[in-house]
């Protein structure tokens, strides 16, 4: 553990408050967002909110320091995954400290980071910052990074252009410069109903969907058998899986419809269109002809449900060096297979790295926790990064050419 052993009482109190808001993705996060807005307002800091289509969820974006282009964003999501069916030792929405850990839903993913950021606001506001420090708190990251898209569109419309972003997902305070991308699709297979005693008159959608699901598994096996050599990823290949299947009406009816959800995580240098194209080609060339020999109107349709880009390591070199120099991380951590909002920030032209307190192994589990020493290290990093933000230069500024 670093020399920073214990977080401030301010961080612990704020984290307990944030955990007490049950911001499960299916529910509103407005209570938490409005509390943060008021917390900042009391310190003389204004915030802009951007809402989802229902008005029940919102992002918050605030700026500390001068009204100038550039600056560094501390970004995190406010939503958490459900606790339904999980065996918790205590109330998941009441923070509990024991054995050097703070327990509660969202403690590491990722309200611990948000609390550390908010605890440093007064210190940053009192400093004579030469470049702005921005706070970005989003909704619905856990269900497809929905909120950050609204936030980025709002920033573009307002001509706010940060230079770099630290996404505080749990990394054990290592600096992560790359992660996989993620896509998910719904596949709808349409066959022909018939009485179960006359299967020859129907086209069984479930059975043909099963053939396509089997092909998806075959592709997954092929990728796993050919991992990328010298890859920094913990899982050095693209992965696919089928997650949900639904079809049929009754046991005595040949099912007309079957739909399933499949997705994949892909390496930054993979082509995500090629992966889904392989599935679609197999459906068109091998499954549909067999179905249409029996029923000309049979069909297979694909609908993209989510598309979250990978975080590529190259464009993040300058901000990675800067964060490592001030955080004491020393060297970059491994590339990770889980997905964050960092890929979308990078896609919007904001160089991004992932660095936050806690371990991804604790995320989404019962008795989720963050170590107090990790929170203390995070506090120190945020204060140092904010106070030295004016020293950060992008690779373009340093070399005169983009990387």
**DSSP helix, strand, coil percent of the chain (3-state; round to 5):** 35, 25, 40
Q: Which helix (H) or strand (E) holds 356?
A: none
The helix/strand/coil state of 40 is: helix
The helix/strand/coil state of 63 is: strand
8-state DSSP, 230? T
Instruction: Please give the C-alpha separations between residue 36 and each of 117, 142, 180, 215, in angstroms, as whole numbers.
Output: 11, 20, 31, 48
Residue 98 neighbours by CB distance under 10 Å:
10
Determine the Cα angle at 360 with ends 334 and 382, to 5°.
80
Q: Which two tokens stand for residue 204?
A: 């069984």
Question: Could you give the residue numbers annotated as active site?
Answer: 79, 141
- The 10 Å CB-count burial string (b at 16+, else e) for 165-177 is bbbbbbbbbbbbb
**Interstrand relation of 181-190 and 257-266 (parallel, antiparallel or unpaired):** antiparallel
Contact yes or no for 199/254 (Cβ under 8 A): yes
Q: What are phi and psi of 111, to 5 degrees?
A: -75, -20
């Amino acid at each position: 553990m670093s020399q920073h052993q214990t977080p401030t009482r301010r961080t612990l109190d704020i984290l307990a408050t944030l955990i007490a808001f049950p911001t499960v993705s299916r529910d509103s996060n407005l209570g938490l967002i409005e509390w943060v807005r008021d917390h900042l307002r009391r310190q003389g800091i204004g915030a802009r909110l951007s809402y989802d289509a229902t008005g029940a969820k919102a992002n918050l974006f605030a700026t500390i320091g001068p009204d100038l282009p550039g600056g560094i964003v501390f970004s995190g999501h406010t939503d958490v995954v459900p606790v339904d069916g999980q065996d918790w030792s205590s109330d998941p929405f009441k923070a509990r400290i024991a054995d050097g850990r703070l327990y509660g839903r969202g403690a590491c993913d990722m309200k611990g980071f948000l609390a550390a950021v908010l605890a440093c606001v007064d210190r940053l506001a009192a400093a004579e910052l030469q470049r702005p420090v921005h706070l970005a708190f989003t909704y619905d990251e856990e269900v497809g990074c929905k909120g950050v898209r609204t936030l980025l569109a709002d920033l573009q419309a307002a001509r706010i252009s940060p230079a770099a972003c630290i996404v505080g997902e749990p990394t054990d305070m290592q600096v992560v410069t790359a992660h996989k991308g993620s896509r998910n699709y719904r596949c709808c297979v349409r066959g022909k109903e018939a009485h179960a005693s006359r299967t020859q008159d129907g086209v069984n959608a479930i059975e043909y969907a099963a053939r396509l699901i089997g092909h998806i598994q075959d592709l997954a096996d092929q990728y796993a058998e050919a991992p990328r050599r010298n890859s920094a990823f913990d899982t050095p290949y693209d992965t696919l899986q089928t997650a949900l299947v639904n079809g049929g009406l009754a046991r005595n009816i040949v099912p007309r419809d079957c739909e399933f959800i499949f997705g994949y995580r892909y390496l930054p240098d993979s082509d995500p269109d090629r992966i889904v194209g392989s599935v679609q080609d197999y459906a068109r060339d091998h499954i549909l002809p067999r179905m249409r020999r029996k029923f000309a109107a049979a069909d297979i349709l694909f609908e993209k449900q989510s598309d979250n880009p990978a975080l590529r390591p190259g464009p993040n070199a300058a901000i990675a060096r800067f964060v490592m120099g001030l955080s004491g991380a020393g060297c970059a951590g491994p590339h990770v297979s889980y997905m964050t909002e960092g890929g979308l920030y990078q896609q919007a032209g904001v160089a991004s790295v992932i660095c936050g307190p806690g371990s991804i192994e604790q995320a989404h589990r019962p008795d989720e926790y963050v170590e107090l020493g990790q929170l203390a290290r995070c506090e120190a990093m945020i204060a140092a990064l904010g106070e030295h933000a004016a020293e950060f230069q992008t690779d373009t500024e340093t070399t005169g050419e983009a990387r």
